[in-house]
């Protein structure tokens, strides 16, 4: 994987993270509209954290994986399977940039 590929994938990951956080934000706005009161400002930080739990399990799993991938890019370990450490084929990474496991480990995890 070259630097350009890495840059492109990093951008895709950040866009995906923004998309997911946008879901959280729009849910937060719904809450604001529903609660017209004085305590909203002090509560907004808590509300944001609570709203993260409003994501579906699938959305949370993806957000976790996206953030883990961004950390791995920083550390230079991106593109390796988290379970066995082998290189994940580029085609698989390109299709799912937040992929954590190689196909072998993924299918073993799905069977168990």
Is residue 98 within 8 Å of residue 66, measured between CB atoms?
A: yes
- If one asks whether residue 93 binds Zn ion (CB under 5 A), the answer comes out as no
- If one asks whether residue 102 binds Zn ion (CB under 5 A), the answer comes out as yes
Strand partners, 80: 87
Q: Which is nearer to Zn ion, 55 or 83 (CB)?
A: 83
Q: Distance (Å, rounded) from C-alpha 68 to C-alpha 65?
A: 5
- Residue 21: name the closest of 72, 29, 43 by CA: 29
- If one asks whether residue 31 binds Zn ion (CB under 5 A), the answer comes out as no
Among 84, 89, 90, 108, binds Zn ion (CB under 5 A): 84
Contact region with Zn ion (CB under 5 A), list: 34-42, 54-62, 91-99, 101-109: 101-109
Is residue 81 within 8 Å of residue 100, measured between CB atoms?
A: yes
Site residues, Zn ion (CB under 5 A):
81, 83-84, 102, 105
């Amino acid at each position: 994987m070259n630097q350009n590929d890495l840059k492109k994938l990093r951008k895709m990951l950040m866009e995906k993270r923004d998309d997911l956080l946008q879901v959280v934000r729009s849910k937060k706005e719904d809450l604001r509209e529903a609660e017209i009161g004085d305590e909203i400002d002090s509560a907004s930080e808590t509300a944001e954290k609570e709203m993260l739990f409003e994501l579906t399990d699938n959305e949370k799993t993806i957000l976790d994986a996206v953030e883990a991938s961004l950390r791995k890019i920083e550390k230079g370990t991106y593109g390796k399977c988290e379970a066995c450490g082998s290189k994940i084929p580029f085609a698989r990474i390109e299709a799912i940039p937040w992929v954590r496991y190689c196909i072998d480990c993924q299918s073993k995890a799905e069977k168990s």
